[in-house]
Structure 1
Amino acid sequence: MDEEYDVIVLGTGLKECILSGLLSVDRLKVLHMDRNDYYGGESASLNLNQLWKKFRSSSSPPTHLGSSRDYNVDMSPKFMMANGALVRVLIHTDVTKYLYFKAVDGSYVYNKGKIHKVPTTDMEALKSPLMGIFEKRRARKFFIYVQEYLETDPKTHDGLDLTRITAKELFTKYGLDDNTVDFIGHALALYRDDRYLCEPALETVKRIKLCAESLARFQGGSPYIYPLYGLGELPQAFSRLSAVYGGTYMLNKPDCKVTFDEEGKANGVTSEGETARCKKVVCDPSYLPNKVKKVGKVSRAICIMSHPIPNTNDSQSVQIILPQKQLGRKSDMYVFCCSHSHNVAPKGKYIAFVSTEAETDQPEKELQPGLNLLGAVDEMFFDTYDIYEPVNEPSLDNCFISKSYDATTHFETTVQDVLAMYTQITGKVLDLSVDLSAASAAEE
Structure 2
Amino acid sequence: MDDDLPTEYDVIVVGTGMTESIVAAAASRIGKRVLHLDSNEYYGGLWATFNFDGFQKWMEDLKISKHDSKDFKPDLENGETFLKASNQYSTVENIAEECEADLPLVLTKDTQTDGSNDTSSLTTEKTDEDKNDKKETKHWSVDRIKKEYRRFNIDLAPKLLYARGELVELLISSNIARYAEFRAVSRVATCMDGKLIQVPCSRADVFANKTVSVIEKRMLMKLLTSCMDQGADSPEFDGYHDKTFLEYLNTKNLTPIVNHYVMQAIAMSTDKTSCRDGVNRTKHFLNSLGRYGNTPFLWPMYGSGELPQCFCRLCAVFGGVYCLKRHLDGVVVSEDKCKAILTGKQRLSLEHLVVGQGHLPPEIVASTGENQISRGIFITDRSIMQGEKENLTLLYYPPEESDQEAVTVIELGPSTNACPQGLFMVHMTCKRTKTAQEDLAYVVKRFLCAKTLESNVSRTPTDSHTQTVATDQHQAQEGDKGANEGTIENPMPQVLWSLYLNLPASDIKLNESAPSNIHLCSGPDLDLDFDFAVNQAKEIFKAMYPSEDFLPRAPDPEEIILEGEEIPGPKFEGDNTSGENEKQDAEKAEKEE
User: Matches of residues 35-50 of structure 1 in structure 2 within 5 Å?
Assistant: 35-50=39-54
Q: What do residues 145-164 of structure 1 show as CA deviations (whole Å, max 9, x unaligned)?
A: 345x268xxxxx9x835587
1:384 paired residue number:
502
Deviation of the 1:74 alpha carbon: 1.2
Matched, 1:145 2:264: no
CA distance in 2, matches of 1:266, 1:73: 37
- Using structure 2 for the length normalisation, give the TM-score: 0.63
CA distance in 1, matches of 2:171, 2:524: 19
Q: What do residues 115-137 of structure 1 show as CA deviations (whole Å, max 9, x unaligned)?
A: 33334345544566776775544
1:421 paired residue number:
540
2:346 paired residue number:
274
- Using structure 1 for the length normalisation, give the TM-score: 0.82
For the pair shown, the structure with the greater C-alpha radius of gyration is: 2
Q: Is the 8 A contact 1:301 1:383 kept in 2?
A: yes
CA distance in 2, matches of 1:219, 1:28: 39
User: Matches of residues 308-319 of structure 1 in structure 2 within 5 Å?
Assistant: 308-310=383-385, 315-319=390-394
CA distance in 2, matches of 1:143, 1:229: 34
2:417 paired residue number:
343
CA distance in 2, matches of 1:181, 1:79: 24
1:72 paired residue number:
153
Q: For 1:86, give the aligned amino acid.
A: L
Q: Is the 8 A contact 1:55 1:381 kept in 2?
A: no
Q: Is the 8 A contact 2:332 2:342 kept in 1?
A: no
Deviation of the 1:27 alpha carbon: 2.9
The structure 1 residue matched to 2:272, chosen from 176, 180, 194, is 194
1:250 paired residue number:
323
After the TM superposition, which parts of structure 1 deviate over 6 Å for at least 4 consecutive aligned residues? 56-61, 129-133, 428-434
Deviation of the 1:56 alpha carbon: 7.1
Q: Which deviates more from structure 2 when the two are superposed, residues 415-424 or residues 266-275?
A: 415-424
Matched, 1:117 2:198: yes
2:143 paired residue number:
63
Q: Is the 8 A contact 1:422 1:428 kept in 2?
A: no
Q: Is the 8 A contact 1:389 1:402 kept in 2?
A: no
User: Matches of residues 359-378 of structure 1 in structure 2 within 5 Å?
Assistant: 359-361=433-435, 363-371=436-444, 372-374=446-448, 375-378=493-496
2:398 paired residue number:
323
Q: Which deviates more from structure 2 when the two are superposed, residues 285-294 or residues 115-124?
A: 115-124
The secondary structure found in structure 2 opposite 1:367 is: helix
Q: What do residues 207-255 of structure 1 show as CA deviations (whole Å, max 9, x unaligned)?
A: 43432342311233x211122222232222211100122211111103x
Matched, 1:235 2:308: yes
Q: For 2:51, give the aligned amino acid.
A: N
Q: Is the 8 A contact 2:333 2:515 kept in 1?
A: no
The structure 2 residue matched to 1:262, chosen from 325, 328, 334, is 334
2:371 paired residue number:
296
2:165 paired residue number:
84
CA spacing shift, 1:53–1:339, aligned 2, 3 Å: same
Q: Which deviates more from structure 2 when the two are superposed, residues 67-76 or residues 25-34?
A: 25-34
Aligned length: 419
Q: What do residues 187-209 of structure 1 show as CA deviations (whole Å, max 9, x unaligned)?
A: 43456883432x4xxx7555434
Q: Is the 8 A contact 2:266 2:282 kept in 1?
A: yes
CA distance in 2, matches of 1:22, 1:179: 46
Q: For 1:351, give the aligned amino acid.
A: M
The secondary structure found in structure 2 opposite 1:295 is: coil
CA distance in 1, matches of 2:26, 2:507: 22
Q: For 1:283, give the aligned amino acid.
A: V
Q: For 1:391, give the aligned amino acid.
A: K
Q: For 2:253, give the aligned amino acid.
A: G
CA distance in 1, matches of 2:392, 2:520: 32
Matched, 1:26 2:30: yes
CA distance in 1, matches of 2:261, 2:522: 27
Q: For 2:335, give the aligned amino acid.
A: E
Q: Is the 8 A contact 1:335 1:409 kept in 2?
A: no
2:89 paired residue number:
none
What RMSD in Å do the two structures reach over aligned CA positions? Answer: 3.4
Q: Is the 8 A contact 1:123 1:140 kept in 2?
A: no
**What's the % identity of the aligned pairs?**
24
The structure 1 residue matched to 2:408, chosen from 311, 334, 346, is 334
Deviation of the 1:308 alpha carbon: 1.6
Unpaired runs of 5+ residues, structure 2, are: 64-98, 103-140, 449-492, 554-593
Q: Is the 8 A contact 2:26 2:550 kept in 1?
A: no
Deviation of the 1:77 alpha carbon: 0.8
Q: Is the 8 A contact 2:331 2:342 kept in 1?
A: yes
Deviation of the 1:390 alpha carbon: 2.9
CA spacing shift, 1:137–1:429, aligned 2, 3 Å: farther
